[in-house]
Amino acid sequence: MEVEVSVWKGNQKGFTLVELLIVVIILAVLAAIVVPQFGSSTAEAKEAALRSTITEMRNAIELYYHQHRASYPGAKASSGAGDGTGAAGTEAAFTEQLIYYSNADGATNKTRTPVFKYGPYLKKQDLPVNPIDDLQTLTLLKTGDVGVGSLASTGDGTTGGWWVDTVSGKFIANTNDGTTDYRTW
């Protein structure tokens, strides 16, 4: 009866447990450094998209104002001779006056005619989504003074979406995530 005894041969290949633990620790340290940078890049991209959206909306509102006898979208009814249904001072009037063709008085129509020759002011047939909170809700104010101070009584910015003032034409993000108050942008 022969008993076979295994003898260590110096040329066997493989990793020791200590070597594997060192590699795992190094990978964990690298992950701890890299992952937060991806998170901040996402937040920065959302903020850049928010700035772009706010600029686009403010430009559309100003162009509408200059083509409609110094009246901001939503201040007058979009209903009348065309397809619009929004009464003055409503979210429907504001939206329709930016996405449809309109006449100088603010009445809207889905197709361009010699009477409905202005607009549309937005490329998409709807209001943009707020990229920070992914909401499209719109709150219309008629105070003439949209800003954090005047909006403090209206809300704290946690409901999301957009605020627009039909008297002053100001358009802001209704977003306050606790770190950044986007209503001040």
Residue ranges per domain, the chain? 52-126, 129-185
149 vs 87: which has the higher pLDDT? 87
Q: Give residue 60's pLDDT.
A: 96
pLDDT at 142 over 90: no
pLDDT at 49 over 60: yes
Mean pLDDT of 15-21: 90
Q: Give residue 12's pLDDT.
A: 67
pLDDT at 9 over 80: no
Q: For the chain, how big is the Rg over CA atoms in Å?
A: 29
DSSP line for 89-121: TSHHHHHHHHHSEE-TTS-EESS--SSS-B---
pLDDT at 157 over 60: no
Q: Please, which pLDDT band fits residue 152 given cuts at 50, 70 and 90?
A: very low
pLDDT at 77 over 60: yes
Residues 81-107 as b/e (b if ≥16 CB within 10 A, e otherwise) read ebbbebeebbbbbbbbbbbbbbbeebb
Which residues, at least 6 apart from 82, have a Cβ–Cβ distance to it below 8 Å? 100, 101, 102, 103, 107, 108, 109, 110, 116
Mean pLDDT of 14-23: 91
Q: Give residue 84's pLDDT.
A: 74
Q: Kindly report, residue by residue over 106-133, the tens digit of the pLDDT.
A: 999 999 999 999 999 998 888 999 998 8
pLDDT at 54 over 90: yes
The HSE-up count of residue 180 (CA atoms within 13 Å, CB side) is 10
Q: Provide the mean pLDDT of the chain.
A: 84
Q: Give residue 154's pLDDT.
A: 46
- From the list 114, 117, 75, 87, the residue with the least C-alpha distance to 100 is 117
Q: Please, which pLDDT band fits residue 13 given cuts at 50, 70 and 90?
A: confident
Q: Give residue 39's pLDDT.
A: 63
Q: Please, which pLDDT band fits residue 34 given cuts at 50, 70 and 90?
A: confident
